[in-house]
Structure 1
Amino acid sequence: MKAQRKPVSARHSLYAKISIAQKQLGLDEDIFRGLLESRYGVRSRKQMSDAQLVDLVGHFEAQGFRPKPRSGNPKGAGRREHGKMRALWLSLYHLGVVHDPSDAALAAFAKRVTGGKQSGVDALAWIAGEDAFAVIEALKDWASRDGGVNWEPYASTNGPFHNERCRVIEAQWRKLHALGAVRIDDRGALDRWACRALGIASHSSITHFDAAQLDTLIRQFGEMIRRRMPEERS
């Protein structure tokens, strides 16, 4: 029996407005967290109540923030945002979290996030601005919660850097280990397995692979996960 899907919280829309306000008002992360601490006694949006999130949006509007209106015109939607949504949806599929990789399934999810049956945005092509932020953040939260993806940046001598594909692969590797498909003998096991799978002779970290190589690895791991998932899945 399939488990009921968890409802998407309206908090995502508030998160999206706050993200847009940060950019419009030029608030870097340190200043933003300092504001949260001085105003609400917290360092993260996730520690705030719904009322506090609403208050913060009001505070930003008093400072000059103007939310972007929803777009009813497909031409106004950002291709980059749509590509991000599809990439995250496929990542959830290859993590074994969702079982329909189609755009139609993604559109149904996005409609719930952007207002539900009565007021949600019907087509992916119409999603832009704060709605796009809300959908992307909801997908990332889902991947973190049910897929085990850690979205934190990597550390390096040149400073922190993000590689979301690698983070998805690491979560897949952990899931494959839990399913008994691979053994995690040491920290280099994933890198060695990836090099063999892609036919790379020399040992290299997955963080040095290009996007096409990482996408190939994500698909291969996704196939392995789906073959080993039990028949009755949530």
Structure 2
Amino acid sequence: MNTNTAGLIKAIQTGRRKLGLTDEEYHALLEGVSGKTSTKELNAWQLKEVLRRMRAAGFHTATDPQLRKIRSLWFSMYDEGIVKSKTEQAMSAYIRRITKKTANACGVKDLQRVIETLKQWIDRLDDPAARERLRREFVTMSAASPLPQ
């Protein structure tokens, strides 16, 4: 088991508790995704699918608001012509470059560091009008503090 799958399993176990799933419901969810009843038997894609289904059922991790804020900043910077690609892959590559981790493996502190680097990038812009628009937009974005769980 690598650190990425270990983090996913931990998130799934947290989701199981927060959603109040019984053993039967939990195993049915795992079996519905993979045909297996233990997270230790699932690959990374299957674990992400279990987590996606838990999120659809109302479970949110502490990093979800931060990832939304990063995505919003990234897309706004693209609209201003600062970043060249608006894709999730480009944003994920940036997160990986800053944290040396995938977005799913990042904790709250890692993602806060990414947000701070984006803010510093905005502060270094040569175009004062674009810099001011992005600063204003950043201030009006919802806070990226963790959701209570």
TM range (shorter): 0.3 to 0.5
- Structure with the greater alpha carbon radius of gyration: 1
Indicate the structure with greater helix content. Answer: 2
TM-score by length of 1: 0.31
Which fold has the larger relative contact order, with Cα–Cα distance below 8 Å and residues 6 or more apart in sequence?
2
